Chain A
Amino acid sequence: MFWDRTLYQHPEFKQGARHLAPQAVGQIPWALMTGVALVNSGLSLFESVFMTLMVYAGSAQLAATPLIMAGAPAWVVLITAFCVNLRFVVFSLHMRGYLMHLSRFRRIMMGYYNTDLSYVLFTQRFAHPASSAPDRLAQEAFFAGMNFAYWTGWMTFCLIGIGLANAIPPAWGLGFAGILCLLAIQCSLASSRLRVLSAIVAGAVAVLSYALPLKLNIVLAIAVAVVACLMAEQLKALKASDA
């Protein structure tokens, strides 16, 4: 990954970092507010720092933290985080062709440091996996450079946010910024009618089944929403074949 000399000494590494940096500036307040929200949700200072350094997944952290504080069992927290991260599962399907020539360890490191932004920018710039070894290395270095820039910026501002959070009383309700951030990401995912349906169904089911123990309402909501959307797809297909 980015501590690998063959990557960070490659000219494409710098290119990648330079390509990403200006586009990532908009993410700075998000990193700050993630740090603030972690502390305000009730994690201790050490837990907040530890989570930031280890997990490196803003929306999953924001989704998991209230569950941890509510005393939900670990598997519910982990499944929720996995589900919030499912978009990355889809990205990994796309990235597979670019990375399969690497060792498993390197692939996992590439995956761990991937972000929404670097995935989008990478696949925009390289529409196809390289076919020669030097080109593959260049792509890998570019990707690593972007991830290095993002990781450094994210960690810096998230940790600053954690530091600032202690100066901000929880009663102000600034933790709500974390919810607004998730709401914005949710809106950005609402790219089709069926996805909007998914959001509506999941939101409704999560509220209606809120009384379920172990925060199971979230897992139930995801399952019902996915099934509802698959059924709606089938209905649409049936109607189309009738017409």
Chain B
Amino acid sequence: MSGIEANITDVWTLLVIVGLAVITAVSRSFFFLSNREWHLPHWAQRGLQYAPIAALSAVVVPEIVMTQGELIATWQDARIFAAAVGVAVYFAKRNVLLTIVFGMGVYLPLHLGLGW
């Protein structure tokens, strides 16, 4: 993040990135990786459908309501308002782009203008 560190390339990070590429291939080919016929247990198959939204929520929610490991104590935080507007816009228009545009339209003035 800081100006000095920002542009240093790290070998470990590159290895993790290669690992991520393997994850892309494996997850997207998961059920046709093997040549054999095989079945996932029924309960696991049902459980699978709840995992993607859980994964996203687990990443997204702390990024909105926490600062440096603490739950934010003030309502004067641009992220909360931007996220609320974003969710409302998404369900009104079902459009990812508009969600980002309106969300940032709320976030930037509050963040840059008011310092929230």
Contact = CB atoms under 8 A, between A and B. Distances in A.
Nearest to B29: A111
Contacts of B65: 207
A158 interface: no
A30 B90 CA distance: 14
Contact of A85 (B23, B43, B61): B23
Interface residues of A, number: 95
A21 interface: no
Interface in A56-95: 56-57, 59-61, 63-64, 66, 68-69, 74, 77-78, 80-93, 95
Interface residues of B, number: 76
B20 A60 contact: yes
Contacts, number: 285
B114 interface: no
Contacts of B73: none
Interface centre among B19, B46, B62, B99 (most CB of A within 10 A): B62
Contact of B50 (A89, A96, A211, A225): A225
Given A26-B97, A177-B100, A177-B104, A206 B58 contact: yes
A80 B59 contact: yes
B74 interface: no
A210 B62 contact: yes
A207 B61 contact: yes
Interface string B42-74: 010111111111111111111111100101000
B25 A112 contact: yes
Given A91-B28, A182-B59, A206-B58, A54 B20 contact: yes
Interface stretch (A100-108, A121-129, A135-143): A100-108
A168 to B, nearest CB: 11
B100 A47 contact: no
Interface string B15-33: 1111111011111111111
Contacts of B104: 174, 176-177, 180
A80 B112 contact: no
A7 interface: no
Nearest to A90: B48
B99 A187 contact: yes
Contacts of A183: 56, 60, 64, 83, 86-87, 90, 99, 103
Contacts of B112: 172-173
Contacts of A74: 12, 15-16, 19
Contacts of B27: 81-82, 85-86, 88-89, 92
A104 B29 CA distance: 10
Interface string A167-179: 0001011101101
A155 interface: no
Contact of A173 (B56, B66, B97, B108): B108
B33 to A, nearest CB: 7
Nearest to B103: A180
A131 interface: no
Interface in B76-106: 78-79, 82-83, 86-87, 90-91, 94-97, 99-101, 103-104
Interface of B: 1, 5-10, 12-21, 23-33, 35, 40, 43, 45-66, 69, 71, 78-79, 82-83, 86-87, 90-91, 94-97, 99-101, 103-104, 107-108, 111-112
The 4 A-B pairs with the shortest beta carbon distances in the complex, nearest first, are A111-B29, A203-B61, A225-B54, A221-B58
